[in-house]
Amino acid sequence: MQKTILTTLTALALSVPALAQDTTTRGRLSSESVSLIPRDAWVPYLGLGAGYTSADTNANFSEGLPSQLKLLASYYSADGRGVYDLGYGISNQQFSRTGAVERAVTGAQAEIAARYQRDDRWQAGVIAAALLGQGRAYEAEQGDAHFAGLQALKEFDMGRGAIGRIGGRLMTDLNVPGQTVTMAMIDFQMGWNPAARKQSVSQAAARSETTTRNGRPLTMTEQRPAGAIELVTAEFAGRPGYIFFESNRAGIRAPDRQRLARLARALEDRSDLFESIEVLGYSDATGSDSLNQELSERRAQQVRDYLVSAGWPTDRIAAQGQGVSRSLASTGSGVDADSRRAEIHFHGVKDAAQLRQILSEVE
């Protein structure tokens, strides 16, 4: 029985990537909104979980089927890498062995978790839970049963600002003497992203004359009055203002991180040379328009977040995704590495010659 349940849980876990990818695609294609990855924000979630509990010897009778319903408050760090959960809810376990202290136990549960989020929105980290007042049922040496272990979740957009997470956890007891009680669970969580950027079809139509061109959002550069001085770092030798990305990825590669760090240091005390900065993200022509748009937004946001973490003021740096880009390569195929990029633009440049000199020394 134990092997059957563990095999089932493993199969469900392996199906998570396909399920999440499919749900993400449907959400993006059917919704009128674009849900962005939360950053420096709290997101509320409703969570459900079910699984299997076992002990390493017959002397403990904790074997059974646990389930839970909880509310979570998830904090996303400014760079979107760290995700931290605080949760509280109700847990239940049905004990399957005849020698169990209780046939079933229901009570409050508190948990805390910390995970690292990758560019593809897979999250992995540690989790700890306290089953309040349920220690006796698990033969713990305290009134509460304590568990800790590892957790992995796949996060995906569900449309209209809704976010889903699905994955699993594997925990072991911390206070059952002489025994090892293991709890494996599948988690599903659904939350609301307060930082989601939403725009209805009617709103988009009303704004199209002034903020779009050929169906594409106008950049800050295109919206500025005629005669405004603009400067793109890509003009300089070595192209320090171009950040290139791997296919279907938004993570900044180590060499480009070093270039951005040098750029940040070079302009650390020279913000007087320009009014603002805009990061434009692009993708190649592979994939659907909705996926390419979201990927271009993530790339622009990644570069902006890195510059902010380096000390540049947040109110003077904007990020915008432009979807599929023109190719910089001579082939013009639109599917090469030159199309997968972000560009850094300086607006309201007050001393173009001096700014050019500083940027030319970045490489």
Per residue of the chain (363 residues), what is the pLDDT tens digit? 444 444 544 554 444 444 444 333 333 322 233 345 677 889 999 999 999 999 887 777 888 999 999 999 999 987 778 999 999 999 999 998 887 888 899 999 999 999 999 877 899 999 999 999 999 989 899 999 999 999 999 998 876 678 899 999 999 999 999 889 999 999 999 998 765 543 333 333 333 333 444 444 445 444 443 333 444 444 433 454 678 888 888 888 888 888 888 888 888 778 788 888 888 888 888 878 888 888 889 998 988 888 888 877 788 888 888 888 665 554 455 566 778 888 888 888 888 788 877 777 776
Annotate the chain with three-state secondary structure. CHHHHHHHHHHHHHCHHHHHHHHHHHHHHHCCEECCCCCCEEEEEEEEEEEEEEECCCCCCCCEEEEEEEEEEEEECCCCCEEEEEEEEEEEEEECCCCCCCCEEEEEEEEEEEEEECCCCEEEEEEEEEECCCCCCCCCCCCCEEEEEEEEEEEEEEECCEEEEEEEEEEEECCCCCCCEEEEEEEEEEEECCCCEECCHHHHHHHHHHHEECCEECCHHHHCCCCCCEEEHHHCCCCCCEEECCCCCCCCCHHHHHHHHHHHHHCCCCHHHCCEEEEEEEECCCCCHHHHHHHHHHHHHHHHHHHHHCCCCHHHEEEEEEEECCCCCCCCCCCCHHHCEEEEEEECCCCHHHHHHHHHCCC
Contact 121, 154 (CB under 8 A): yes
pTM score: 0.54
- The domains of the chain, with CATH numbers, are 2-192 (2.40.160), 211-360 (3.30.1330.60)
